[in-house]
Amino acid sequence: MGHGGNVIEELTADHREVEEIFGRLQAMTGRGQELRDLVDEVTIELVRHSVAEEQYLYPAVREHIQGGDRLADKELDDHARVEKILKQLEKMNTDDAHMSMMLQQLMDEVTVHVQDEENNLFPMLRQACTPEALDDLGDKIRRAKAMAPTRPHPAAPDTPMASKILAPGAGLVDRARDFVTGRGKS
């Protein structure tokens, strides 16, 4: 969950972690609980990552990068599409014939988003911010991920202020549900 380093290093490490889970999903031949556990694992990682980006990365993009509002809005649209897919996957039975299609759609959406961030957004941010500012953002991202929800909440507001107020409460409820059900422990 927390890897250390500046914001770019932290988020890039998250990206590699999600790609590794995608690799395990693609290699999986079975269904049932093993598939549910992997879907839960990738959901937890993506939701925490997204919430942290919405709270701290995108406001920094708006503040420090020329045309940052447009860039941040595009990234938020990406998150909204991914969150809707995650919500559908959460409700799906692993034997559902559409599960594979939804997982592929998730992987495609996330892969394009990751490439865009790493090839465009991160280099612009590195150029626009001091190393100290990037380190500070990394610390904020790690704290946000620790408090973030673990389940998709597509109807929740995605503004930084609303997210900072609502995410810890939703995160607490999600983590309590996860503890009771054992979700994310495998």
Distances (CA, A) of 31 to 35, 80, 149: 5, 27, 26
- In this structure, the dihedral spanned by the alpha carbons of residues 167, 134, 61 and 76, taken in order and rounded to 10 degrees, is -40
Question: pLDDT-derived band of residue 180, with 50, 70 and 90 as boundaries?
Answer: very low
Question: pLDDT-derived band of residue 176, with 50, 70 and 90 as boundaries?
Answer: very low
The secondary element (H helix, E strand) that includes residue 125 is helix 122-128
Helical ranges in 28-57 per DSSP H: 32-52
Question: Considering the entire predicted model, what is its pTM?
Answer: 0.82
Give pLDDT, residue 2: 58
Instruction: Tell me the residue type at 75.
Output: E
pLDDT tens, 88-127? 998 999 988 899 999 999 999 999 999 999 999 999 999 9
Class of domain 7-181 (CATH, top level): mainly alpha
pLDDT tens, 120-155? 999 999 999 999 999 999 999 999 998 877 765 555
> Which of the residue ranges 23-27, 78-82, 159-163 would you say has the lowest mean pLDDT?
159-163
- What average pLDDT does range 37-52 have in this prediction? 92
Give pLDDT, residue 154: 57
Helix axes 131-147, 32-52, angle to 10 degrees: 140
Is-contact 90 43, C-beta < 8 A?
A: yes
Which percentage of the chain shows pLDDT scores above 70?
Answer: 78
Give me the residue spans of the domains in the chain. 7-181
Give pLDDT, residue 155: 54
Vertex 123 angle, CA 122 and 124, to 5°:
90
Mean pLDDT over the full length of the chain: 84
For 141, the token pair is 């991202």
Give pLDDT, residue 8: 97
Question: pLDDT-derived band of residue 19, with 50, 70 and 90 as boundaries?
Answer: very high
